[in-house]
Structure 1
Amino acid sequence: MTQRIALIGFGAMGRSLARMLAAHGDAVRCVAVLQRPGTPAGGGWPAGAVRVETVAALLAQQPDLVVECAGHAALQQHGAEVLGGGNDLLVAAVGALADAALEQRLRAAAQAGGAQVLVPAGALGALDILSAARLAGLTQVDYLSHKPARAWKGTPAEQLCALDALTAPTVFYEGTAREAALRFPQNANVAAAVALAGAGFEATRVRLMADPAAEGNRHVLHAEGAFGSFDFSVTGRVLPDNPKTSMLAPASLARGILNRGAAIALA
C-alpha cells in the first residue's frame, strides 16, 4: 500500500527528502506541500503534490503522515493544529522542543488528537542505544557538535568567536542541551534529539565547535550509566545548498517514513 505524506516546507531539507523517497517508487507518495504565501515552488517538486498555504488545506489531502521540514517557527505555528487533527507529525526541527511551553502544547495536542510527535535520529544516530540506556540508568551524557566554521555563520557563534579568523578547532559554547537548541536553532537539532532520547535537556552537556579545516559535520556522543558506557561518532557530508545540515538528516526522515510502511522494520 502506498503511504501518503504531506510536507511542511520545501527548502533544502524537503527537496532532499523528496528525492530520496522518489527513489523508492510507489512506497510513498507526497500529496501536498505547505508553503508560506508567495514562496516559489522551487525545483524538484514532488510529482502530483498540491501546493497549499494552510494546515486545513494540507490535511484535506488526507495524508497518513505530516513531515515538518521548515524549522522552529513552522513547528511553533503549525504543529499543534496538525496533531490536534489526529495526524502524526515527524519533525526535523527537533530543537524547537527545547522550548518547554511548546513541548507541552504539542504533547497536549497529540494526546487530544490521538496522534504522535515523531523524533528522528537525525544526523547523529545511536539514539536507539541511548534511549535503551536511559531505561537501564544514565549518569552522564555528553555531546559535541564539530562543524566547519562557515556552518556557524549567521548564528550567535559570530558574537562568540571570530569565525573567519580561526586557525584551529575552537569550542565556542559549553552548556545544556536546552540552551544550545534554543540559541542555535539552525545547528543544534541533534543536541535536542540526544536530550530527548537520554538524560533530558538540563542534564545533557553540549559543546559546539567551529573548525576552519573541517569538511563535514562531525557529531560525537558519550554516555555512561548502570548499563556501562558507549562512544559514538559520525562525520557526515553536508547538503550542497545548506552547510548547516548533514545529508543524514533528510535520510533519517526518509528512514522513519519508509519504516512505517515496511513489513519488517527496525524498532
Structure 2
Amino acid sequence: MRIAVIGYGAIGRFVIEHLHADPSIEVCAVFSVPQPANCAAPLVDSIEALLSKKPELVVECAGHQALRDAGEAVIRGGADLLVASVGALADPALEQTLRRAAANAGGRLLIPGGALGGIDALSAAREAGLDSVEYSGRKAPSAWKGTPAENMIALASVTTAQTFLECDARMAALRFPQNANVVAALALAGLGFEKTKVRLIVDPTADGNTHSFMARGAFGEISTTIRSITLPSNPKTSVLAPFSLIHAIKKRAGLILV
C-alpha cells in the first residue's frame, strides 16, 4: 500500500521509521514545513505534489492547522485521511467540512484511538445506550509546559497531583491541541464534545501519561486506565499515539484484522 505523510516532527518521523521495516507498505511522499534536512522518505513541496504520487492513504502528523489547511484537499483527492490531530475536529466548521468531503468524495476520514484504550467498546456502548462519559488526563509538569496550563497553575511549584481544568471535550481539545487529542477521539466515539466531561491534572510524580475514562449507560459501565511512557523527543505525546497510527495503517493495508 502506498501512503503519504504530512509532517515530519516527532510523530511523523516515528511512524515513517517504523513502517520502513514492512515491505508491504511504501511511504511514497512526505510534505513538511519547514522541510527537514534529512528524511527517510521522498520529500515534496506541496499537498498537490503529495497527491500526485497517488497515495491510497495520507497520514496527518503535523498539527491542527495542517489538518485545516490540507484535510479537505486530501479527501477530495480520493485518498483516505488518517488523522493524528483529532482535536482539530472540535472546531465544528472543520468537522462538518471534512464530513461533507468524505460523504461526496472517494476518500474517508479515519480516526485512530491514539493513546486511549476502549474506544471500540465505547462506540458499541453508544449503540447500546450511553448516558455519561468522563475522562481524566494526568501528566507530569514538563508535559504541560508551553500550554495554557502555565497560566492556570504554577507548574514549577506543584508538589502533589492537582486538577487545573474541568471542562467539556470541545474546550479541552481546542485549548490543548498538543495534549488533548484523545478527548476528541473519545467524544467522536461516544456522546459528542459537549457531553464528554474532561479533567486535566498535573502530577509531579507521574512517570508517564495516564489516560482514564468512565462511561455509564443502559449497557452497564466501562472503566479504562492506560499509563503510557512518552516519546523521548516530546513529553506531551504518549508513545502509544504513534503506535496507534501504525496499527491503523497496517489495518488499512489488510495486514491486521483485529
TM-score (norm 1): 0.94
Whole-Å Cα distance in 1 between the matches of residues 145 and 201 of structure 2?
A: 13
Separation (CA, whole Å) in 2 of partners of 1:181 and 1:262: 31
The question of 1:39 aligning with 2:32 is answered: no
How many aligned residue pairs are there? 258
* Alpha-carbon distance, 1:109 to partner: 1.6
- Aligned position for 1:143: 135
| SS of aligned partner of 1:154 | coil
* Post-superposition CA distance 1:43-62 (Å, at most 9, x none): xx33xx32112111001111
Match of 1:240 in 2: 232
Aligned to 1:8: 6
Give the 3-state SS of the residue equivalent to 2:137 in structure 1.
Answer: strand
Residue of structure 2 equivalent to 1:111: 103
Give the structure 2 partner of residue 26 of structure 1.
23
Query: Matches of 2:256 and 2:83 in 1, distance apart?
Result: 23
Contact 1:99 1:182 in 2 (8 A): yes
Q: Tell me the SS of whatever aligns to 1:26.
A: coil
Gaps of 5+ in 2: none
Distance 1:204 1:171 in 2: 17
1:85-138 deviation per Cα after TM superposition (whole angstroms, max 9, x unaligned): 111100000000000000011111222212211000100121000000000010
Structure 1 outlier segments of 4+, above 6 Å: none
What pairs with 1:24-103 in structure 2 (closer than 5 Å)? 25-36=22-33, 38-42=34-38, 45-46=39-40, 49-103=41-95
Q: Contact 1:143–1:221 (CA<8 Å) still a contact in 2? A: yes
Q: Secondary structure at the match of 1:122?
A: coil
Question: Partner letter of residue 35 of structure 1?
Answer: S
Residue 18 of structure 1: how far off its partner (Å): 1.3
CA distance in 1, matches of 2:194, 2:96: 16
Q: Are residue 250 (structure 1) and residue 239 (structure 2) matched?
A: no
Unaligned runs of 5+ in 1: none
Amino acid at match of 2:35: T
State, as a whole percentage, how many aligned pairs show the same letter: 53
Q: What SS class does the counterpart of residue 23 from structure 2 fall into?
A: helix
Q: Tell me if the contact between 2:229 and 2:238 (Cα under 8 Å) persists in the aligned partners.
A: yes
Paired residue secondary structure (1:144): strand
What letter is aligned with 2:91?
Answer: D
Q: Aligned ranges for residues 178-257 of structure 1 at < 5 Å?
A: 178-257=170-249
**What's the Cα RMSD here?**
1.1
Residue identity opposite 1:120 in structure 2: P
State the 1:71 CA deviation.
Answer: 0.5
Looking at structure 2, the residues matched to 53 and 90 of structure 1 have their Cα atoms a distance apart, in angstroms, of 20
Matched letter for residue 29 of structure 1: E
Q: Deviations over 1:17-42 (max 9, x none)?
A: 1122123x212110000112x43244
Deviation by residue 1:59-88 (Cα, 9 ceiling, x = unmatched): 111111000000001000000110111111
Aligned to 1:121: 113
- Matched residues in 2 for 1:162 and 1:253: separation? 34
Asked if the contact 1:27/1:258 (under 8 Å) is kept, the reply is no
